[in-house]
Chain A
C-alpha cells in the first residue's frame, strides 16, 4: 500500500508555504528573537545612566550566592521559592491528578449527576480568574467566619488569614481540574465498551475497573500531564499574584514563577533584568533535564507500550 501524496502540485506547496509563513515569522520574532536577546542579557551588567556592560558569568555566580546590590536576591530565598514550586507540583500530581482521574471516570461512566459535575468542574475555565479569586477570598474570609458565627456565636478570623499557604495551594488544585478532566474524559471515552462489558462479566467492580483498566489505558494522557506539569515547574505562579498582588510580605509562599513575575513588574526592574535572565537560563536547564528524565521513566513504565 503506497502512502498518498499530500502535495499534488507546486500550487499546493505554494499555498501551504503561504499559510505557514506568518506563524513562522511570529515564531522567529517572538520565540527565537526574544529568547536570543534574553540569553545575551544574562551576560550583561546594568546601572543607571550608563550603557550595558559585558559581565561574563557574574550574574550566574550571583544566583548561587547573592546579588551585589539587591538583598532580596539570595540563594536562600530562591531555594524557598523552589521548595514551594516543588510542593505545588507534588500536590498537583498526587492530589490534583488523582482527583481529576476519579472525577473523569465518574463523568465518563455517566453516573448520577455527571453532567452537572462536568459543568461545575469546567466553570473555572470560563469565569475570569480574578473574579474567582475574589469569590474564594470572600468565602474564606467573610463567608466561613459568618457561618461559624451564626452557628456558634464565636467571631473568628478567616481561613486565609490563619493558613495562607494551604488555602492558596488548595485553590490552585481545584482550579486545575477543568482542562485535565476534559482531556481525561476524552481519553476514557476512547476505551472500547467491550472491555468494560468483559470486565463486568468477570465481576469487576468500579474501583478495580478504574485502577486496573481505565488508568493504564489512559496512561499516555496521564503521563503527558505529569511531564507538562514538570516542564511548568518554575513558571507556575500558584495564583499568588491574584491573591496578594506584588506584596513581599507573603514572599514565604511565593513560587519561582511568582517571584520572576513579581520582579519583572516592580519599578526599577530593568536594573535586574540581567540577573533574572541568567536565572531563567539556569531554571531552563534544570527543568529541561528533569523533564527529559521523567519522560524517559514514564515511557519505560507505560503499560500501553505505545511509545
Chain B
C-alpha cells in the first residue's frame, strides 16, 4: 500500500513538473507589445537572403538617431528598431508581433485578402507623417515612384495601398569582365562571327545593335551565343549555376524570353496589347522545322490571353536551355561545370567557385554565372577574401544582355536589337505593416509608416543601392559620380535598369485585374516554387534543368515541353 502511494506521488510530481514546464514554454513564445527598456520598440522582420541585413542596420541607425530625444510613450525616450532576420514563408511572419515586414515572394493579393496587411495609403500617397507629436515631412511621395502596374497591384483604389516595393531581382547571366577582356571573348565587327584579336580592335554592335555602347562585342544572336560558349569551352567551362538549386536555370530562360519578347511580355499582366500583335505558335512541329511556318499573329486581350502560352519567344527561350543542356561530354555537360550538375553545391558555393575557379583545385573555372543580380552582395565575403589575397585587386563582373532577335546574321541593327535590355522583377519583394501586430496602437502604426517612408527617401534608396549593389523596384536617380562609387556589378545593373526604363522595357508584373489575380501563379514572373510560368504538363515540372537534362526521368525536348505548356481559352477563362 505504501509502495502504491509512493508510486502515485512520484507520478503526480512528474506530471506537475511536466505541465508547468510546458506552460512556461508556451508563454515564452508570447511577444508582448515590444518593450525594450526605456525606448519604444519597432520590430522589423527582414528576409535575410541575397540582400542580407547590413543595409537595414544602417537604416536602423539613422532612424533611431531621428527619434533619439523623442518620447513616444510615457516613461520612454527614443526608438529601438529590432531587426528579426528570417527566411521562412512570408505568411508565417504575420501575427507574431513584428510590425514591419520586409520580405520577398509576397503575393500581395493573397496577403490582403487574408487581412494581414495594414492600409498604408497615407504613407504612400502623402509626404507627412505624425508620430505622437513628432512631424516628419519628406520631399517626395512614394506613390510618385511607382509604375502604373505597381499602383494597380498594391492599391485597392481610393488611395489605399498595402505595400511598398522593396528590391528587384533580375535573373540571367553575369560574366567575368576581366576574363572576357583577357581572353578577348568579344565578337569583332566582321562578317564571320569571329572574335577580336586584340584589345583595340573594333567590336561588333552587340545585342542592342548600337555601336559604342557597353554591350559591344557581346553575342547579339543565339548563333553567336553558342559560338561564344564553344570558344570559351576550349579553355574552361562557359557556365556555372547552383547545383543544389537547379531552379536558378529558370533565370536564364526567363531573361532569354524577356529579351526576345520585349514589350509583349507585359501583356501577361496588362492583358491588353492594343493593336500590337504577338507571334504565337499554332503548329510546333512545323515551327521547329521552319520558323516561318506554324506561327500566326494575334492581339492579346482577356479572351485571347491563352495565346501567350504559345508565344514563339517562349519556345525560343526553352530551345536555348535545351541546346545548352544537350551538349554533353559523356555523363557531363559541355557548357556547365560539374558542380552545376551535382546536387551538393549551393548558390553561394557556386559563387565561390565562380570567383576562385582558377585558384582552387577542387573547382572548375567558369566564365559566366547564372544568377540573380543580388549575387554579388551574397558573395561579399568571398570577394573581400579575393581582394585580400590579391593585394586589393577587385574582380569585375557585369550583367550580360541576351540576344533580342532570332537570327543567323553576324551583325544586327538597332531596330532588331530594340528588345535588348528588357528586364522584369522576378522576386516580388515588399515592405508591409502587419495589421494584427500594430493593432490600434496609433504610435506604433504611425512609427511603422514613418519607417517605411524614411526607408524610401531618395537618399535612403541610393544608400541601399550603394550598400548592396542592387536596385530598388522604384523610380529614383543617381548621379554619374554616385554610380561610379558602385562596384562594377552595381554599375552594370544600374545602367541596365536605366536603359530598360528609358526604352519602356522595365516591367513589374502585377495588376488588379480579376483574371490576373485568379491566374497569378501562372501569369507572374516570380521564380519561386509553385509558380507555373514555365510549367509543362508533358513532364509535370517547372524546373527546366530536370526537363532538359538527359539523365533525368523528366527529360524531354524543348518542343515537347512547349507542347505541354500550351493553354486553351477554357484554361484561362
Residues of A whose CB lies within 8 Å of any CB of B are: 4, 6, 15-16, 19, 22-23, 47-49, 69, 71-72, 77, 134, 137-138, 140-142, 155-158, 160-162, 164, 243-252, 262-263, 265-270
| Inter-chain contact A48/B113, CB cutoff 8 Å | yes
| Stretch from B104-112, B133-141, B228-236, B282-290 that touches the partner | B104-112
Q: Which of B19, B343, B541 interacts with A19 by CB under 8 Å?
A: B19
| Inter-chain contact B245/A142, CB cutoff 8 Å | no
Collect the chain A residues with CB atoms within 8 Å of residue B246's CB.
247, 249
| Inter-chain contact B19/A246, CB cutoff 8 Å | no
Contact digits for B535-560, partner A, Cβ 8 Å, 1 yes 0 no: 10100111101110001111000000
Knowing A19-B12, A250-B546 are in contact, say whether A49-B529 is a contact too (CB < 8 A).
no
Does B481 lie at the interface of the complex (its beta carbon under 8 Å from any beta carbon of A)? Answer: no
Knowing A4-B4, A137-B343, A267-B107 are in contact, say whether A248-B518 is a contact too (CB < 8 A).
no
Determine how close the nearest CB of chain B comes to the CB of A129; give it in whole angstroms: 16
Q: In whole angstroms, what is the CA distance A133 to B238 when docked?
A: 30
Determine how close the nearest CB of chain B comes to the CB of A153; give it in whole angstroms: 14
Closest to A47 in B: B518
| Inter-chain contact B331/A248, CB cutoff 8 Å | no
Closest to A72 in B: B540
| Inter-chain contact B531/A267, CB cutoff 8 Å | yes
Does B530 lie at the interface of the complex (its beta carbon under 8 Å from any beta carbon of A)? Answer: yes
| Inter-chain contact B4/A267, CB cutoff 8 Å | no
Knowing A157-B338, A246-B529, A268-B520 are in contact, say whether A141-B541 is a contact too (CB < 8 A).
no
Closest to B90 in A: A267
Closest to A16 in B: B12
Determine how close the nearest CB of chain A comes to the CB of B349; give it in whole angstroms: 10
Collect the chain A residues with CB atoms within 8 Å of residue B528's CB.
266-267
Closest to B332 in A: A157
27 contacts between A and B (CB under 8 A): A4-B4, A47-B518, A48-B110, A48-B514, A48-B520, A69-B519, A71-B532, A137-B244, A140-B343, A142-B342, A155-B338, A156-B331, A157-B331, A157-B332, A157-B341, A158-B343, A161-B342, A161-B343, A162-B551, A245-B529, A247-B246, A249-B546, A249-B552, A249-B554, A265-B529, A266-B529, A267-B528
Q: Please provide the chain B residues from 306 to 328 with a CB less than 8 Å away from any CB of chain A in the complex.
A: none
| Inter-chain contact A19/B15, CB cutoff 8 Å | yes
Q: In whole angstroms, what is the CA distance A263 to B521 when docked?
A: 13
Determine how close the nearest CB of chain B comes to the CB of A41; give it in whole angstroms: 14
**What's the interface size class on B, roughly?**
35 or more
| Inter-chain contact A141/B343, CB cutoff 8 Å | yes
| Inter-chain contact A49/B540, CB cutoff 8 Å | no
Collect the chain B residues with CB atoms within 8 Å of residue A161's CB.
341-343, 551
| Inter-chain contact A265/B341, CB cutoff 8 Å | no
| Inter-chain contact B540/A77, CB cutoff 8 Å | yes
Collect the chain B residues with CB atoms within 8 Å of residue A265's CB.
89, 529
Does B191 lie at the interface of the complex (its beta carbon under 8 Å from any beta carbon of A)? Answer: no
Closest to B567 in A: A71
| Inter-chain contact B110/A270, CB cutoff 8 Å | yes
| Inter-chain contact A252/B554, CB cutoff 8 Å | yes
Collect the chain A residues with CB atoms within 8 Å of residue B331's CB.
156-157, 162
Collect the chain B residues with CB atoms within 8 Å of residue A248's CB.
529, 540-543
Q: Apart from A245-B245, A247-B246, list 12 A-B contacts with CB within 8 A.
A: A4-B4, A19-B19, A22-B19, A49-B109, A160-B344, A161-B341, A161-B342, A249-B552, A249-B554, A267-B528, A268-B521, A268-B530
Does B28 lie at the interface of the complex (its beta carbon under 8 Å from any beta carbon of A)? Answer: no
| Inter-chain contact A266/B15, CB cutoff 8 Å | no
Does B29 lie at the interface of the complex (its beta carbon under 8 Å from any beta carbon of A)? Answer: no
Does B16 lie at the interface of the complex (its beta carbon under 8 Å from any beta carbon of A)? Answer: yes
Q: In whole angstroms, what is the CA distance A5 to B22 when docked?
A: 29
| Inter-chain contact B109/A48, CB cutoff 8 Å | yes
Q: Which of A71, A157, A251, A267 interacts with B342 by CB under 8 Å?
A: A157
Knowing A157-B338, A267-B528 are in contact, say whether A249-B541 is a contact too (CB < 8 A).
yes
| Inter-chain contact B343/A266, CB cutoff 8 Å | no
Q: In whole angstroms, what is the CA distance A4 to B245 when docked?
A: 63
Q: In whole angstroms, what is the CA distance A77 to B529 when docked?
A: 17
Q: In whole angstroms, what is the CA distance A44 to B4 when docked?
A: 53
Collect the chain A residues with CB atoms within 8 Å of residue B19's CB.
19, 22-23
Determine how close the nearest CB of chain A comes to the CB of B336; give it in whole angstroms: 12
Q: In whole angstroms, what is the CA distance A265 to B342 when docked?
A: 25
Knowing A138-B344, A249-B552 are in contact, say whether A267-B521 is a contact too (CB < 8 A).
yes
Q: In whole angstroms, what is the CA distance A34 to B362 when docked?
A: 51
Collect the chain B residues with CB atoms within 8 Å of residue A268's CB.
107, 110, 520-521, 530
7 interchain residue pairs of minimum CB distance: A266-B530, A249-B543, A249-B546, A246-B529, A141-B344, A137-B344, A160-B343
Q: Which of B16, B105, B541, B553 interacts with A267 by CB under 8 Å?
A: B105
Collect the chain B residues with CB atoms within 8 Å of residue A244's CB.
244, 343
Q: In whole angstroms, what is the CA distance A138 to B345 when docked?
A: 8
Determine how close the nearest CB of chain B comes to the CB of A240; give it in whole angstroms: 12
Closest to A71 in B: B537
Closest to A80 in B: B540
Does B247 lie at the interface of the complex (its beta carbon under 8 Å from any beta carbon of A)? Answer: yes
Q: In whole angstroms, what is the CA distance A173 to B86 when docked?
A: 31
Collect the chain B residues with CB atoms within 8 Å of residue A72's CB.
532, 535, 540
| Inter-chain contact B4/A22, CB cutoff 8 Å | no
Q: In whole angstroms, what is the CA distance A6 to B12 when docked?
A: 11
Contact digits for B17-35, partner A, Cβ 8 Å, 1 yes 0 no: 0010011000000000000
Closest to B4 in A: A4
Q: In whole angstroms, what is the CA distance A242 to B503 when docked?
A: 43
Collect the chain A residues with CB atoms within 8 Å of residue B345's CB.
141
Does B114 lie at the interface of the complex (its beta carbon under 8 Å from any beta carbon of A)? Answer: yes
Q: In whole angstroms, what is the CA distance A222 to B113 when docked?
A: 49
Determine how close the nearest CB of chain B comes to the CB of A141; give it in whole angstroms: 4
Collect the chain A residues with CB atoms within 8 Å of residue B547's CB.
249
Q: Which of A49, A246, A252, A263 interacts with B553 by CB under 8 Å?
A: A252
Q: In whole angstroms, what is the CA distance A275 to B535 when docked?
A: 20
Q: Please provide the chain B residues from 231 to 257 with a CB less than 8 Å away from any CB of chain A in the complex.
A: 243-247
| Inter-chain contact A19/B518, CB cutoff 8 Å | no
Q: Which of B12, B332, B343, B535 interacts with A243 by CB under 8 Å?
A: B343
Q: In whole angstroms, what is the CA distance A15 to B336 when docked?
A: 69
